[in-house]
Structure 1
């Protein structure tokens, strides 16, 4: 498989996304991304950092992914929500509830990913307003907006897309140097409309990540 430098703005079938500025970054740059899986299958697989110290969104999303079911992913830059204690976890829960309410789904099907400054709580008023803005602008053609919304020290958006025989893959990522141990502060989301066996998908995804990292 060869990935080309040019990429598709169109997400795989069944996915919608949006990248907006919620005001979490002082620069006014995009800082909040919402990805929605409209189905018909909401199967998801995930790997997480092996660091012993993890942020509230990692704790939350590990719980969400236990049943390999995800209907939405909310990602933000401008604040990692790390080293923020019980209040930070409550903020993560509130973020998931905000997404779930708009999509009429369970918050237990909403994964949360945050990156940015450590030790500072997120401005929840801005974040929740951003969630509403992202929801109102969901689109099937949003690859670059999604990638830009999760950038921190990245010099450019990290995007890869591939299509063959009617099957599409779209991947976005952030992370410039802090990739150890195993992912560390890196975030990545891969979407596909390929129909695969769930056990096989988990096995392949795990092996690919082990080889990559």
Structure 2
């Protein structure tokens, strides 16, 4: 079970689903505040998002968490969790403006570095998708749909990072199911309504509809 509003959810859910599609079913739910792995009887196994994805990948022998690159993947996941996801939480919940300003600078600096990293490669660590890509994708999926609203006037859009924007849309086409796109608010549900797990989407300069832009083909 996982709430669509948490970027950590997307890392856990997509990692588990890719690694062990025959073992895992996913329920998107706001009844939990963070992703949780339950056993067949509904008992809690873990609420550690990275453990969920890594453990299932290890048990299934999935290529998203190869033994030869686990230290590198773990280190990158820690950076994403601290400097992007953790930074967003600080900006949203801290009452100290100086802390908010400092953390925002760190967050945007990390986005810039990741954008450069993706200039000449398909995924964060090269030509193969790894579990490190998935929590970053969770951050970027909600960036313009809501997170940017908490970062102050003039905060950069995902579109301002061309390599990240291209990478995120390509990954969305590769890993999101139809249900995922509806849950994230990228596509309408059967009744025509759009989910807003992060609240109303902000306007993005130069783009008529950011939801539609997410679904446009990437070369």
Fold conserved between structures, TM > 0.5: no
Name which structure has the greater RCO, CA cutoff 8 Å, separation 6+: 1
Give 1 or 2: higher helix fraction.
Answer: 2
Scaled by the length of structure 2, what TM-score is found? 0.27
